[in-house]
């Protein structure tokens, strides 16, 4: 397998404050996972950090997406770093931060051709001006933005065309009651809900996603919002959700994705160490990723 290069993208720019005067703690994710031995567990190389601009909590109606200008600037720098790793033939593992880091990673892909996106998330993150009166925070809008819908300062980072085409996206793990499932279907964005994933199993869920994201593309990226895992095992997120898969099921699915040669990179988002003072959940995440990588290597060896 290609060399894994871990890049820290500790941005919380895409979230609203959890309470007045408090910055979202997900920017601490890279430190928590590194302290639990992530690099050694993945046998990965350290790719350094892309330092984000200062978080600004202020937002008012009519001002567009929170921190949009800062996110646009940061996304370009993150795209440069990820692009250099891809150019070396390596596999970037990007540690967020919140889901706004998808914009920079998608921009890096856009510069290199047409790519698919496996979007592992409990939420569709498809809020945009066509379905809501106010844009607020990119972490609830990232899928909409990378497919060309949202704040004008963000949707054209890669030029006139969106970074990712609708038909090249497969959303996996979204809860069956998500507000935007019908709209995703109208736009031709494929979905496998958390209930379907649990029912058919990780291998079948991965196969469905791979069929979507490898059709006519130059490869695909995997977005992993850790709130996709059931809230009973993953409460350390800004919006934990019940009805999701276990870490064990996630590790199995990741194995099938990472074993596919078209998979060019992976990002992790939303885990908040402030909600995990014992770092117990950081350990679960590290073990899950190590499980996925070991499974991927075994699957490749068996082929």
- CA 37, CA 7: separation in Å to the nearest integer? 15
Query: Which stretch of 19-33, 49-63, 242-256, 274-288 has the lowest confidence by average pLDDT?
Result: 49-63
- 70 and 52 in contact (C-beta within 8 Å)? yes
| Across 227-253, average pLDDT | 98
CATH number of the domain encompassing residue 195: 3.40.800.10
What single-letter DSSP state applies at residue 167?
G
Q: What confidence score (pLDDT) does residue 46 get?
A: 98
- At 57-87, the pLDDT tens digits run 877 776 678 899 999 999 999 999 999 999 9
Q: Which structure tokens are listed for 142?
A: 């990232």
- 20 and 58 in contact (C-beta within 8 Å)? no
- At 268-285, the pLDDT tens digits run 999 999 999 999 999 999
Domain range spanning residue 77? 4-302
Residue 221 burial (CB < 10 Å; 0-12/13-18/19+)? buried
Cα→Cα distances 198→8, 118, 179, 190, Å: 31, 17, 20, 17
What is the total count of domains within the chain? 1
Find out whether the peptide bond into 140 is cis, omega within 30 degrees of 0. no
Closest CA to 271 of 302, 210, 229: 229
């Amino acid at each position: 397998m290609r060399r894994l290069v871990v890049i820290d993208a500790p941005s919380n720019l895409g979230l609203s404050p959890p309470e007045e005067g408090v910055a979202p703690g997900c920017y601490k994710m890279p430190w928590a996972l590194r302290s639990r031995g992530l690099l050694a567990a993945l046998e990965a190389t350290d790719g350094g950090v892309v330092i984000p601009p200062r978080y600004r909590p202020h937002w008012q109606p009519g001002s567009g997406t929170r921190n949009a200008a800062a996110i646009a600037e940061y996304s370009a720098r993150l795209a440069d770093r990820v692009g250099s790793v891809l150019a070396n033939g390596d596999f970037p593992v990007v540690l967020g931060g919140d889901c706004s880091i998808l914009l920079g990673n998608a921009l890096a892909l856009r510069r290199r051709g047409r790519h698919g996106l496996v979007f592992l998330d409990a939420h569709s993150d498809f809020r945009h001006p066509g379905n809501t009166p106010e844009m607020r925070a990119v972490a609830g809008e990232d899928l909409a933005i990378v497919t060309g819908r949202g704040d004008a300062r963000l949707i054209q980072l890669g030029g006139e065309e969106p970074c990712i085409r609708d038909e090249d996206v497969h959303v996996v793990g979204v809860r069956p009651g998500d507000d935007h499932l019908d709209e995703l279907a109208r736009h031709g964005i494929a979905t496998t809900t958390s209930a379907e994933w649990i029912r058919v199993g990780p291998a079948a869920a991965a196969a469905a996603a791979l069929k979507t994201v490898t059709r006519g593309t130059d490869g695909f990226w995997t977005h992993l919002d850790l709130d996709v895992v059931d809230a009973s095992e993953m409460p350390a997120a800004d919006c934990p959700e019940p009805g999701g898969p276990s870490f064990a099921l996630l590790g199995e699915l990741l194995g099938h994705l990472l074993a596919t040669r078209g998979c060019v990179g992976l990002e992790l988002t939303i885990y908040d160490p402030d909600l995990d003072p014992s770092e117990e959940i950081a350990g679960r995440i590290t073990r899950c990723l190590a499980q996925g990588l070991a499974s991927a290597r075994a699957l490749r060896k068996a082929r």
